[in-house]
Structure 1
Amino acid sequence: MLFLRAIISVVALVAAEDGSQAWLRYAPVVQGEISTFSPTSIIALNTSEISPVYAARQELQKGIRGMLGVQLGFNSTKNASAIIVGTVEAYKAKYGDLGEQEQLVDDGFYLNSQGRNVLIIGQNERGALYGAFEYLSRLAQGNFGPVSSISNPHAPIRWANEWNNLDGTIERGYAGPSIFFEGGFVKENLTRVAEYARLLASVRINAVVVNNVNANPTLLSARNIEGLGRLADVMRPYGVQLGIALNFAAPQTFGQLDTFDPLDPKVDAWWGNNTDQIYARVPDMAGYLIKANSEGQPGPLTYNRTLAEGANMFARAVAKYGGVVMFRAFVYDNKLNPAIWKADRANAAFEFFRHLDGKFDENVVVQIKYGPIDFQVREPASPLFSALRQTNTAIELQITQEYLGHQTHLVYLSPLWKEILDFDLRADNKSSQVKDIVSGKRFKRSLGGFAGVVNVGTNTNWLGHHLAMSNLYAYGMMAWDPSVDPETILQDWARLTFGSDRAVLDTITSMSMSSWPAYENYTGNLGIQTLTDILYTHFGPNPASQDNNGWGQWTRANKKSLGMDRTVRNGTGNAGQYPPEIAQMYENTESTPDNLLLWFHHVPYTHRLKSGETVIQHFYDAHYAGAAVAQEFVKQWESLKGKIDEQRYQEVLFRQEFHAGHALVWRDSINQFYYNLSEIPDEAKRVGIHPFRFEAEKMTLSGYRPYAVNPFHTASGYTAVVTTSNSTVGTATVELTVESGVYDVAINYYDMDRGRSEYEVSVGNRTVGKWTGDLERRLGRATSVYLDGHSATRITFRGVEVRKGDVLKIVGKPDGIEPAPIDYVSLLPEGVVD
């Protein structure tokens, strides 16, 4: 028997960590109060190397060795004390009745450490592996107390979607190229895929769709089918099944048929034949994901067939193998006429699918985005959840931060998901929480669950930002049990990832839990959507891009008013898509929550919120408040120096400093836009007034020239400076009239793609700092070839001694297409943010 100290904290290793192990670090533990850890061996009730039970055995040995320094051997018979892991069936065959198994469902597990043996028993092999990870997680967090519990999944479908292209790029991926594909084919080296499957299994994800929903039909080539088989082979030991996305037109574009009509017998036969070939190589494939008739993609509507007829064609092909078809409800016309007041993209999914309820085959699941538009910072729950009573549904969430900062802004998403999942749609005036609809419980459906768009890449830390991994962890935990509190999930993740130092936990909790509200404040609030550039990268600010185009993400902003009128009375009727209790709430401004006011109502800028503020003043105040929180993130993270290994500390600090600067870009850009549009001044006299700034275009220039930036509001004073040619070194100087003292020198500039300009800033002939405009290499966010809200950024040099009369000089050396652009310089007294 081994006597150990009960673990009261797990400390970060002093050695550098690269994030590749995520929350599965199995770091050594610190000894505290006296306790015991008695197991001396592991008994696995399946020794097949492709079995998740075998993987559980290996994981238990690895984890306990890493955390406790104890090497447990493998055994086949009970001894003094052992960890027994296996399925209910295998346990009964060897030891007799378990007594608890009747409560287990597929993938569920029973964990008992109250006796001399630790029992980890799954309803199936995957469940046994999940139980092993749960046991190791408890040990890693210092929980050595006895436990006896059953854990069952909330829903059977818990999938990851990876929008990977066959050429190795990833649509809306911000962490490097694909781990699955390169050069048109499945990669040869799949070590990274196996590591990813292990991560997914540890948070109970049971399938992964490996390719983009905008699917390339050549995925069905013989070479790629063989490659898919290899992908399935390396994921199978972790209980992660393979899924693939299909291109609806493949029979014509790839199969050389003259049609892809789903009711044409030869098309039906073509899909059946190809499905047989795939299952011959991947007999346990989870199924298909289909995007059809959306954003220009082909689909059954091309032939005046219904979406259900299209979905059912695939369902028939996979039914005999037990496969599932996930059919996306993201169907809409991207060429809407903004001149039509009642036109509304938010209505599309409901209008396309509501009349098809009950017409889908039993193995079809309609995959519905959480809101009616597209992963915005805040949307109401999609009304389609309450409309499909006889159809299986799943909720689509997005871990990759497409509209939410591209993993360069810290945004912990679990609170957003929690609001949606807990929302009660009141179907038939009965409790109808979204989480109970997608599980199948509310409408008594056989299938349902969760699909999360993840988009991991080859970056060592998987998602580009170490702190962004909290979203992947939280997605898995909430898909398993959506009743869990987001803060509880976060703290579990933080302990496993960074250790149990109280300062570390408190700081990460504070930063993360305030991150979504802060992002909402400085991007788009009151339900206006994320005011990003929807026509380009979905990263930086550009509210004007949302209106007057066919994409339907309109704000209908004008000189006097803004917001979408989605009422039945005067607007698009979207409010009426909800069950009566909810529809009545959204129909009137008085009963609509302020945080969705502009989603459902078109109101004057002077409309007063429930707080008493006008809409426009709330905009100004919220954007300043949100950006201020982002500045605090830097200070909070800096307080952890020495408490986190240096590599991860520095990598997170770099992103938090970028985040802080870009939050100011957002703040100034959105406020300036609405100030110019409404001509209503900020009561606090902040918008457009920056006493600490020196505008670059007003400095003394040599080799630089003024440049009118577009969108105008993404430059302070609407203007930046660029070098007069791509081979000319530019200088910008200004005499400082401030009082002598110590200041922070902040420079806003533009870091464009396809160029790495070099900069040097000096004060009084003393070099303050040098830097290179190479963020396109260092950050995973979508880049820009323009001077705009995507490329706008800031660098700050702190604690600079300045004497009154000193000359501040910036020297910019252009590179490629990047003309060393500068927006402004701020000279900031300590603690001031301009």
Structure 2
Amino acid sequence: MRASLRILALCAVFVSAEDGLAGWLRYAPIPDDTILQQGLESLPSVIVSLNSSRVSPVYTAAKELQAGILGVVGENLNVSYETTASEQSSSLIVGTAAAFNDNYGTQVDVSKFAPDGFLLRVKKGSVTIVGQNERGALYGAFEYLSRIARGDFAEVELLSNPDAPIRWVNHWDNLDGSIERGYAGLSIFFGNGLVLPDLTRVAQYARLLASIKINAIVPNNVNANANTLNATNIEGLGRIADVLRPWGIQLGLSLNFASPQLLGGLNTFDPLEPAVISWWSEKTAELYKRVPDLAGFLVKANSEGQPGPLTYNRTLADGANLFAKAVQPYGGIVLFRAFVYNHHADWNVWTNDRANAAVEFFNHLDGKFLDNVVVQIKYGAIDFQVREPANPLFANIPETSKAIELQITQEYLGQQSHFVYIPPLWKEILDFDFRDESKTSLVRDIVAGRRYNNSLGGYAGVVNVGTNTSWLGHHLAMSNLYAYGLLAWDPTLSAEDILDDWTRLTFGFDPDVLKTVSDISLATWPAYEDYSGNLGIQTLTDILYTHFGPNPASQDNNGWGQWTRATQTHIGMDRTVRNGTGNAGQYPHEVAAAFENIETTPDNLILWFHHVPYTHRLKSGKTVIQHFYDAHYDGAQTAQTFPVRWEALRNKIDVQRFEEVLFRLTYQAGHAIVWRDSINNFYHNLSRIDDEHGRVGNHPHRIEAERFNLKGYSLVKADPVETASNFTAVAITAADGRGEAVIKLDDVVSGTYDVAFAYYDVIGGRARYSAFLNEQPLLEWIGNLEDKLGHAFSNKIDGHSATRVTVKKVEIQKGDEIKIVGVKDGVETAALDYVAIVPPGELD
């Protein structure tokens, strides 16, 4: 029986497509017969569920255990709701501690449990999973399944409690179905102004979140639409809550502060106005009537044009407490975002600093928030940059409960078209020690409530999954979601161990796969930092447009406050107390003293805290400008290894996921070169300091498009100009929408080359390209990356649309001819930048 089920399970896996929808919950059969036999020998004969209600997480846990065991070891265990068997019999018991003690007389010490905690006891032939509550029992079931899916059948007695009570995910989904900072399709929650009628994907998503111990979802954008609270949508939100409930996940809701005026017809939204207070009280009662276990509210106020209490000269605490009072009778909480700043600041004022805003707006309010208010603080003081110091607000409001806001969606980190494994960045922040009052004051202890004895605290992760079957657009990016949940439960876990577990669950046991995924993933954050923005200068993206491609000039000369203060001679924000914005002084004394002094400021934050000449020498001995040049070349070089290493896994990973990941890693490698050249060219032009190695602006393998014999093409400038090689590109201007670019390779030594075509994939059309070598077809492609990638695209010839496509191992003879034929489509003008004839293994 066991053997036949095993064969059926294997067959089911091999014939079904691996599209990423199952995430890390594939429950793939164990390929090692030795491990399998060990699992079969230790397996109980029946699953006993201590709750038979279909809406109960315990019932869900039993069904999940049944499916998982069948998938992993091929054994179909029956689920029983009878509790006659003793704990010592060959059974897998799952339930709450109270139900277990009532049914078995074996007293589990409930005093050792925190809310949502669980006990997992595995003995040969017997498994006991006991939760402090029903959600905890489900978490314990997923812990057991994760272990056996990784081939771990060892005996264990594990008591596991969450490090913090708040483990939420925030979504920025809009009622029309679009997703702000979403890169994987449309919303799984909303469309056409309403909650979707089919919530199948929400249930699948809830299963994934429950497995990593997330306990609440806020589905709608923090830039909230007041119509979310109309009667039809409240009923729809109730349906979402109904889908989440069996998975132990509560619904939260983002609110528009001006809803009483926008939806309720009042002439004010003043938080101290009795009519406004009454309106919110009634609307909250309406919500809780439909969703009695509503977790609470998330509020963004007086930030980036959003309404809030400051409109009426009320304090932010007045605003937060308005909602806290409304949800207090129902046990709800309010997460109130600390992301409040003036986005029209005068950048000419030397002491202005967006990084100071959180402390300036909130520190005088410490102790004025109600007990069920949690201030939600971004991990850094700017906005999810590739590197920021820990937000000083964490150590400035000790009497206030706090949650750390982490961004799983890669808004500033390549928008899932580039892959960045983010947990090492998060770990650096969570392990940061503020040394408040010269005592150990780790961020992870502050947000858990331990350091300052706060009653609440925890984690809020911005994660914008979409209808793409890979959920986040990039299969590898799912490791970030997985790691977020595990770190919110236990922030002492290592990023490396989490990654190893995720890889085994997602791709299997092959040691080459495990090593390759680990090596690529752990290299991504350092590489992205190197080729985007290093030394604490922030991610040098286009902050005025899509936040995707390079545009360092966009950082300055505007009110958004993500300034670099780059001049012809100097760069970096002076955040010292002595001469700058005073941001260093917002930290406790020991840390403030270290950041105030350029000698004790780490090099990787030097441009965050200090305004220095490009010729300033770092502790490495390099000048700042030479470090920039070298880092951008090093980062781009590392990115070139990603698709090469992944390619070596062909036939070790299912075809669909393999090809989809290869496509994105190849794109990332090409776009990393765009980043490298754009940033280096910008600072080379600005500083007029040459690269010691002669690389910047010197590309011997390239043939610039303007050197080709052109027909139907005309010269154009990119915007910014640094996003075109040699500052010039060509685009079709002919009336018939066709163009040709031809050149003889008279300067090329005969041999084997990789041929790269640099072009601009602009949204708003799907131009066609055909490349020929001596009139023989070499490559055809379409400018349709908007159909294949999810990042925020551009309608201009710039660093967002710049990209490359490469043909490997082409035999070229001196004097050969390359011709490119372009066909314009819509606003996409089949623009070209250059062709690179690169010896294999070299970097263009």
Please state which band the TM-score falls in when normalised by the shorter chain.
Answer: over 0.9
What amino acid maps onto 1:21 in structure 2?
A
The corresponding residue for 1:811 is 821
Q: Does 2:88 match 1:87?
A: no
1:462-492 C-alpha deviation (Å, 9 max, x unpaired) = 0000000000000000000000000000000
The corresponding residue for 1:386 is 395
Do the aligned partners of 1:762 and 1:809 also contact (CA within 8 Å) in 2? yes
The corresponding residue for 2:27 is 26
The corresponding residue for 2:165 is 156
Separation in structure 2 between the aligned mates of residue 41 and residue 198 of structure 1, nearest angstrom: 23
Separation in structure 2 between the aligned mates of residue 309 and residue 381 of structure 1, nearest angstrom: 27
The change in CA–CA distance for 1:516 and 1:13 in structure 2 (over 3 A counts) is farther
- Equivalent residue of 2:493, what SS? coil
The corresponding residue for 1:666 is 675
Q: Does 2:44 match 1:39?
A: yes
1:14-163 to structure 2, matched below 5 A, reads: 16-30=17-31, 31-32=33-34, 34-35=37-38, 36-75=41-80, 76=82, 77-78=84-85, 80-114=89-123, 116-163=125-172
Q: Give the Å deviation of 1:725.
A: 3.9
Separation in structure 2 between the aligned mates of residue 283 and residue 503 of structure 1, nearest angstrom: 49
Q: Give the Å deviation of 1:96.
A: 1.4
1:564-617 C-alpha deviation (Å, 9 max, x unpaired) = 000000000000000000000000110000000000000000000000000000
Q: Give the Å deviation of 1:116.
A: 4.2
1:296-315 to structure 2, matched below 5 A, reads: 296-315=305-324
What amino acid maps onto 2:817 in structure 1?
V
Separation in structure 2 between the aligned mates of residue 611 and residue 267 of structure 1, nearest angstrom: 59
Separation in structure 2 between the aligned mates of residue 643 and residue 589 of structure 1, nearest angstrom: 49
Q: Give the Å deviation of 1:685.
A: 0.4
Do the aligned partners of 2:63 and 2:79 also contact (CA within 8 Å) in 1? no
The corresponding residue for 2:763 is 753
Separation in structure 2 between the aligned mates of residue 134 and residue 795 of structure 1, nearest angstrom: 43
Q: Give the Å deviation of 1:15.
A: 5.4
Q: Give the Å deviation of 1:243.
A: 0.5
Q: Does 2:589 match 1:587?
A: no
Do the aligned partners of 2:42 and 2:124 also contact (CA within 8 Å) in 1? no
Q: Does 2:510 match 1:508?
A: no
- Equivalent residue of 2:834, what SS? strand
The corresponding residue for 1:828 is 838
Q: Give the Å deviation of 1:657.
A: 0.6
**Structure 1: segments with no counterpart, 5+ residues:** none
What amino acid maps onto 1:317 in structure 2?
A
Q: Give the Å deviation of 1:5.
A: 15
The corresponding residue for 1:325 is 334
The corresponding residue for 1:774 is 784
Separation in structure 2 between the aligned mates of residue 211 and residue 519 of structure 1, nearest angstrom: 30
1:120-175 C-alpha deviation (Å, 9 max, x unpaired) = 00000000000000000000001011011101000000000000000000000000
What amino acid maps onto 2:141 in structure 1?
A
The corresponding residue for 1:487 is 496
Q: Give the Å deviation of 1:3.
A: 10
For residue 376 of structure 2, the aligned residue among 367, 370, 383 is 367
Q: Does 2:298 match 1:289?
A: yes
Separation in structure 2 between the aligned mates of residue 462 and residue 723 of structure 1, nearest angstrom: 37
- Equivalent residue of 1:393, what SS? strand
Do the aligned partners of 1:669 and 1:714 also contact (CA within 8 Å) in 2? yes
- Equivalent residue of 1:608, what SS? coil
Separation in structure 2 between the aligned mates of residue 474 and residue 432 of structure 1, nearest angstrom: 23
What amino acid maps onto 1:769 in structure 2?
L
The change in CA–CA distance for 1:282 and 1:127 in structure 2 (over 3 A counts) is same
The change in CA–CA distance for 1:243 and 1:586 in structure 2 (over 3 A counts) is same
Q: Give the Å deviation of 1:428.
A: 1.0
- Equivalent residue of 2:172, what SS? coil
Do the aligned partners of 1:4 and 1:37 also contact (CA within 8 Å) in 2? no
**Structure 2: segments with no counterpart, 5+ residues:** none
Do the aligned partners of 1:213 and 1:246 also contact (CA within 8 Å) in 2? yes
Runs in 1 of length 4+ with deviation above 6 angstroms? 1-6
Separation in structure 2 between the aligned mates of residue 690 and residue 733 of structure 1, nearest angstrom: 20
Separation in structure 2 between the aligned mates of residue 816 and residue 739 of structure 1, nearest angstrom: 39
Q: Give the Å deviation of 1:16.
A: 3.5
The change in CA–CA distance for 1:726 and 1:135 in structure 2 (over 3 A counts) is farther
Do the aligned partners of 1:726 and 1:816 also contact (CA within 8 Å) in 2? no
For residue 352 of structure 1, the aligned residue among 361, 370, 380 is 361
Do the aligned partners of 1:567 and 1:573 also contact (CA within 8 Å) in 2? yes
- Equivalent residue of 2:330, what SS? coil
Separation in structure 2 between the aligned mates of residue 421 and residue 307 of structure 1, nearest angstrom: 26
Q: Give the Å deviation of 1:418.
A: 0.1
Q: Does 2:701 match 1:692?
A: yes
- Equivalent residue of 1:394, what SS? strand
Do the aligned partners of 1:177 and 1:457 also contact (CA within 8 Å) in 2? yes
Do the aligned partners of 2:101 and 2:108 also contact (CA within 8 Å) in 1? no
State, as a whole percentage, how many aligned pairs show the same letter.
62
Q: Give the Å deviation of 1:765.
A: 1.3
The corresponding residue for 2:751 is 741
1:336-735 to structure 2, matched below 5 A, reads: 336-725=345-734, 727-735=736-744
1:269-280 to structure 2, matched below 5 A, reads: 269-280=278-289
The change in CA–CA distance for 1:727 and 1:317 in structure 2 (over 3 A counts) is farther
- Equivalent residue of 1:163, what SS? strand
Do the aligned partners of 1:24 and 1:496 also contact (CA within 8 Å) in 2? yes
Do the aligned partners of 2:737 and 2:825 also contact (CA within 8 Å) in 1? no
The corresponding residue for 2:807 is 797
The change in CA–CA distance for 1:726 and 1:403 in structure 2 (over 3 A counts) is farther
Q: Give the Å deviation of 1:329.
A: 0.0
Q: Give the Å deviation of 1:742.
A: 1.4
Q: Give the Å deviation of 1:830.
A: 1.2
Separation in structure 1 between the aligned mates of residue 348 and residue 658 of structure 2, nearest angstrom: 51
- Equivalent residue of 1:612, what SS? coil
> What TM-score comes out, normalization by structure 2 length?
0.97
Separation in structure 1 between the aligned mates of residue 797 and residue 450 of structure 2, nearest angstrom: 51
The corresponding residue for 1:231 is 240
- Equivalent residue of 1:320, what SS? helix
- Equivalent residue of 1:162, what SS? strand
What amino acid maps onto 1:442 in structure 2?
R
Do the aligned partners of 1:726 and 1:819 also contact (CA within 8 Å) in 2? no
Do the aligned partners of 2:28 and 2:149 also contact (CA within 8 Å) in 1? yes
For residue 215 of structure 2, the aligned residue among 193, 206, 215 is 206
Q: Give the Å deviation of 1:409.
A: 0.7
Q: Give the Å deviation of 1:99.
A: 3.4
Q: Give the Å deviation of 1:100.
A: 3.9
Do the aligned partners of 2:740 and 2:821 also contact (CA within 8 Å) in 1? yes
The change in CA–CA distance for 1:726 and 1:484 in structure 2 (over 3 A counts) is farther
Separation in structure 2 between the aligned mates of residue 283 and residue 680 of structure 1, nearest angstrom: 64
The corresponding residue for 1:783 is 793
The change in CA–CA distance for 1:13 and 1:639 in structure 2 (over 3 A counts) is farther
Separation in structure 1 between the aligned mates of residue 185 and residue 559 of structure 2, nearest angstrom: 31
1:640-672 C-alpha deviation (Å, 9 max, x unpaired) = 001000110000000001000000000000000
The change in CA–CA distance for 1:779 and 1:104 in structure 2 (over 3 A counts) is same
What amino acid maps onto 2:324 in structure 1?
A
Moved more, 759-768 or 570-579: 759-768
What amino acid maps onto 1:810 in structure 2?
I
What amino acid maps onto 2:50 in structure 1?
L
The change in CA–CA distance for 1:360 and 1:725 in structure 2 (over 3 A counts) is farther
Separation in structure 1 between the aligned mates of residue 734 and residue 504 of structure 2, nearest angstrom: 52
Q: Give the Å deviation of 1:13.
A: 4.9
